[in-house]
Structure formats: C-alpha cells, structure tokens
Chains A and B, each alone.
Chain A
Amino acid sequence: MILKLENINKSFGEKQIFNNANFTFEKGKIYGLLGRNGAGKTTLFNCISGDLKLDSGNIYLNENIEDTPISTDNIGMVYSTPILPDFLTGYEFIKFYIDINKDKVDNLKTIDEYFEIVKLEKEDRHKLIKSYSHGMKNKLQMLCFIISKPPVILLDEPLTSFDVVVALEMKKLLKELKHDHIIIFSTHILQLATDLCDEVVILHQHILSETNQELLHSPEFEAKLIDILKDEE
C-alpha cells in the first residue's frame, strides 16, 4: 500500500505552500514530517484528509494495483490537542465509535478488551471525557484507529505534552500499529523523530524531500538538518 502525492500545489493568496510537490509514503513505515514554523505541515495534513482543497495535483492511495483518489474514510487524524465530545464517558464514546464503524471492523473485540490495549484504567472508563487528562484523551483517539484501522494515520504534533510514561506507551503503540498502516506525524522535536521514525521527510521551500537514511541515526543529523532548514530561499 502506498500514499502518493503527485505534483501538488497549494497557496493562500500570494503565499505559496506547495509547488509541484511529490512524495510517496509506504505501508509499514513511520514518517516524521519536519519543517519550520509556517512551512505547511498542518496544511499538508488538511489537504491529505480532504479538509482543504488542493489548487492542483493529486493524492492517491494505492492499496493493491490501482491508484485511487484518497477518500476521507481512509484517513485517521490526531490533532495536537485531542478533540473529543465532553459529555460522553470514554466507554460510551468507544461504543458509539464501534457502532458507526461496525461494517469496517473485523475481529471485533469487547469494549473492555480495547481499553486494555491502550492501558486505560478500569475506573477511568466510566468517567466523563471532560474530566480526562491530555494523555487519556490521546489514548482514546489512538483507540479509534485500533478499532477502525484507517490505512493512513496522520498525527499533528502528537506526544509534545505527554509525560514520559505516556509518551513511551504511545511510542510503543505506534510501532505496533505501523505494520498495517502508513503513519505520518509532524513534529518539532528532533529526538522524537530520530527515535520513532523510519524516515524523516522535510518540508522546505514548498517541496517534500526525504533525508538520507544513514544520516538519520548519525550524530551529525541535527547539524545537517539545521543547515538544510536555514538555507533561505
């Protein structure tokens, strides 16, 4: 399975974000998307998820042989601050989520079994989401992907406000999930990118480019990356 961006263009007024950008993301890998503030990381996610229209170009998902335009059903998105309905309990939200995705889910587990996967404590499952901590809300969002298994998962600056324990749990979860999905996450934290990602994609000067695989784990990675990003137009 691949996610293909083909000659995508997008600008807001006179500010160009993408200029004929191309990239192919593959299943089984976690991609870290790096770029300076305002480079267009969130815009890229919004374009992939269909929330924003491209000026031109195509985004395809190829699950077998054929390129098909990506549909919103194929995407799961996590916002930097999770957005969930406050008036439900975690348990009720997951029941609702399973209900509306029933036709897409195979090997349906019980709700409590799902909660076990993300290690959400028993006593918290029946509390209002309103009272959940940031980490608990994020676990709920992750759980949605575990249930509906969208081919592409986009994470907009996740893990930035987690404590170390939850961050580690989340990293483990993402690594377990990656085999069946294309996972792309944007971040500012270099260490996170090097820790978790199989590949780092740089959004700079309106295009997407891959970094050298060997460089990713080398000690000079940070210096090189800053060199690339500092390189003004």
Chain B
Amino acid sequence: MSTQVHANLTEEQVRQISGDLDEPEWLLETRLEALEALSDLDMPDVIRTPGRDWTNLHELDFESLVDPLNAAENKDQIGPDEVEVLPWAEAVSEHEALLKEQFGSVVDPQENYLTALSTALFSTGTVVYVPEGVDAEDVTIRTEQNSRSLFNYTLVVTEESSSVTILERQSTGEKQDEQYYSGIVEVVAGENSSVQYGSLQNLSEDAYNFSLKRGDADTYATINWIEVNLGTQLTKSGVSTELNGDSSETQIVGAFYGHNDQHFDIDAKVWHKAEHTTADLVTRGVTDDVARSVYEGVQDVGREAWDTSSYQRENTLMLSDESEADASPKLIINNHDTEASHSATVGQIDQEDLLYMTSRGVDPRAARNMLVEGFFVPVMEEIAVDELREDLEELVAARLRERSE
C-alpha cells in the first residue's frame, strides 16, 4: 500500500533542523535519505484480517499533524555522575564517533514510513552512555510536549559489565486538539551488561503516538523493557529485543489501560539468534468504554538458537461490553532445542469473583476496582523501578475513580 507523501516537507526543513543541532555531514545525509525514502515506504505492519486493518494508521492526517520547525518541549535529562546523560546536540559534539557507529544500527531509519519520518525530523533526543564496569541507577528522561508535533530520539549504549536503570516518561504540557509524538529508542547492550528501560507514556488523550524501541543484546547481556501506555487517542508502539549474543536475556513487560475511545496497538517481539538465550514477555491491559486494544507478540527462534527458553503471555480485561480487545501471540521455531510457551486471553470481570467479594460486604464498585488493581499485580511485580510501579498504581487507581459507576 502506498503512503501519502508530504507535500509540505522539504529538504530545507531537514537541513535547518540538522544545522541547528550542529550535526556532521553524515548525519544530515542519513536524514535526507530518510526524507527521500518516504515516498517508497509503507506504514508499519499491523495485524490484518480480511477486509480490516486492526489499527488504521493511514487515516492519520500527517499533513496537518507534522509541524517540523516549531517543536517545543520541556525536558529533564538526569542521571548520576558516573554515567553520561547527554542532550542530543551535546552528544553530537562530544561523541560523534559513538553516534556514527551506533545511530541507526538497531532500528533501520528506513524500516517504515514512520521511522523514516522520525529520523528525518527529530529535533530532540538523549544519549545515555555507560562506561565499562559502571553501575548506574535512576537515569530519568522526562519529555513534556508543548508543540503540535515532537520527534524524539534516544540512544543507550552500555559498555562491558555495566548496568543502568532508565525511566523515560512522556506527557503533554500545552494541549492542542491533535498532537503527534514520535519516539525511537535504540539500546546497544554490550557484553555482560544490563539495561532496564521503563517507559511511561501518559500523553494527552487527544494525541497520537508512534514509538519504536529496540535493543541489541550482546553475550551475557540483559535488556528488560517496561512499556506502559495510558495516554493518547491512538498509540502504535513496538518493543523488541534481538538476542544476538550467546546467553543473552530479555524481558518485555507491558501494561496499558484504555478508556473512552483510546486505541492501543502494542507489539512485543523477540528474536533469538544465539545459543542459551531467554525471553519472557508479559503484558496485561484493560479496556473500558469504547476503547480498543490490539496486541501482537512474536517469539522468533532462529536456526542457530540452540537451547532457547522463550515465554509469552498476554491478558486483556474488558470492563465494558463495548470495548474491544484482540491479541495475537505468535511463536516461530526454527530450532527444535527450544522450551517455549505462548498464550493470550481476553475476558471480563468474573461474576463469581465479584459475588464472592460483595457477599462479604464490599460494595460492587470497590470490589470491581480491587479486581482490576489485582489484575495488574503480576505485571507490577515485574517492575523493578519503584517510581514507575508507584506511578502506574496511582494512575490506574485514579482512572478507576474517574469511572462514573
């Protein structure tokens, strides 16, 4: 399917963005190539059944959503002293060699229309560099969007035997009728290093969001993702790990709570490409009112992936009859030396559970809220970042309190 090309996007705009950031020629070229590629690229893959795309990205009016030269945000980029947490322009001037080596090495800028658009137009970003042997906690990246569109880029590089915990959050400052946030995250986890990357997306419910996060795990490296989505009217979010090194591991934990007419399309993917690798994918989500969720999970076990362990489970709880949830867990096995499981469920509050609780005196509303909060607990238990877990608990509780009945 061909995609509309922006009539109002120009090379000059891209040159100006790159120039303002003082970027080297090779980076400008990468951006310009991405811009030029737009006409040939498709929207990201979505699950399709005959006659229907589960998530329709073509209806988005990028023409009016994208306003490349007026990006505005409020940003915090904080971390402990022993790790470098650099705004993009600073990273460009201080770490050009690192960027040249890693930028676009995990997520191909021309993977699809939206990654190319993001690559061409991103005006803000963060580079987290963790030197060999350093253990760093509490790296925080906070982005508050104040403009119609905002394109963000994050690169995390951990050297051998280091570890880092990162919490990235997005929210909306100045609201508009429609806004677009696009974020690409690349994680390059060096040998025997460990990255825990938590993301809390709580943008305005009028916003659209496209994000793609992917990690490359070297030998004995661990990449753990926590993907939380609460805001936007439409989110297309992909989280994935390539287990390229022997004995590497990943965990992808997801949580979402959609209400009103929110639409979340979440995909979690892992590619087992080396020996003795382990993956654990756990997502839980709630849909209410006329909200809709689409989940796709893929465990891809490559031919060389001997002794693979790979587990996936997804559960969606529908709180209203009008909400919809679809899930498609997939397991592709090309090496028989694999222990794997995958499952997905979609269900409603169990009436027997509810009666059990109300018959002990708990009023129906409180009982239902306890069941919903309890439903998220298996995911909460996997979140090692206290701040993220506590915020998610509070946001879920607040959303439940907002319900009219």
**B partners with A:** no
